[in-house]
Chains A and B, each alone.
Chain A
Amino acid sequence: DAKTTQPTSMDCAEGRAANLPCNHSTISGNEYVYWYRQIHSQGPQYIIHGLKNNETNEMASLIITEDRKSSTLILPHATLRDTAVYYCIVRVGHNAGNMLTFGGGTRLMVKP
Chain B
Amino acid sequence: GAVVSQHPSWVICKSGTSVKIECRSLDFQATTMFWYRQFPKQSLMLMATSNEGSKATYEQGVEKDKFLINHASLTLSTLTVTSAHPEDSSFYICSARARTGVGEQFFGPGTRLTVL
Contact = CB atoms under 8 A, between A and B. Distances in A.
Determine chain A's interface SS by DSSP, over half rule: loop
Interface residues of A, number: 21
B107 A44 contact: yes
A48 to B, nearest CB: 12
A33 to B, nearest CB: 14
A46 B4 CA distance: 13
B34 interface: yes
Contacts, number: 52
Contacts of B28: none
A85 to B, nearest CB: 8
A42 B38 CA distance: 11
Number of chain B interface residues as a range: 20 to 34
A101 B106 contact: no
A65 interface: no
A112 interface: no
B103 A102 contact: no
Given A43-B109, A46-B104, A94-B102, A102 B43 contact: yes
8 contacts: A41-B110, A43-B4, A43-B95, A43-B110, A44-B93, A45-B107, A97-B103, A104-B43
Interface of A: 36, 38, 41-46, 87, 93-95, 97-105
